[in-house]
Amino acid sequence: GAVVSQHPSRVICKSGTSVKIECRSLDFQATTMFWYRQFPKKSLMLMATSNEGSKATYEQGVEKDKFLINHASLTLSTLTVTSAHPEDSSFYICSASTLRGTEAFFGQGTRLTVV
């Protein structure tokens, strides 16, 4: 299957700082990327959907000014957690799919810890 690389796999940051997470499709063009987060002992929850070259669509309850998503190219989407707080500590995972594809390919996830 296609490969999606997510970086970093783990990050620890201080409260109030911003953190950027990258999601790259290595061997295909990802017209659509999805960002999920998972709290401990909870399900993965969709945060937002981004299509290349357009603004991301956020799920209800997700602050778009806090979780900035950029999908400027067909192989890269970034999620920036701005002014991070301890409650933002979570597991973030991206997935990517092609224009006509029915399968989404997942990155390995990023464990964010805000101290």
Partner 1 sequence: GNSVTQMEGPVTLSEEAFLTINCTYTATGYPSLFWYVQYPGEGLQLLLKATKADDKGSNKGFEATYRKETTSFHLEKGSVQVSDSAVYFCALTMNYGGSQGNLIFGKGTKLSVKP
Task: Give the interface with partner 1 as residue ranges (CB under 8 A).
Answer: 1, 4, 6, 9, 32, 34, 36, 38, 41-46, 49, 93, 95, 97, 101-109
- In the bound state with partner 1, the residue whose beta carbon lies nearer, of 11 and 45, is 45
DSSP string, 62-103: --TTTEEEEEEETTEEEEEE-S--GGG-EEEEEEEE-SS---
- In the bound state with partner 1, the residue whose beta carbon lies nearer, of 54 and 115, is 54
- In the bound state with partner 1, the residue whose beta carbon lies nearer, of 5 and 80, is 5
How many residues in total does the chain contain? 115
Smallest distance from partner 1 to CB 47, Å: 11
Smallest distance from partner 1 to CB 45, Å: 8
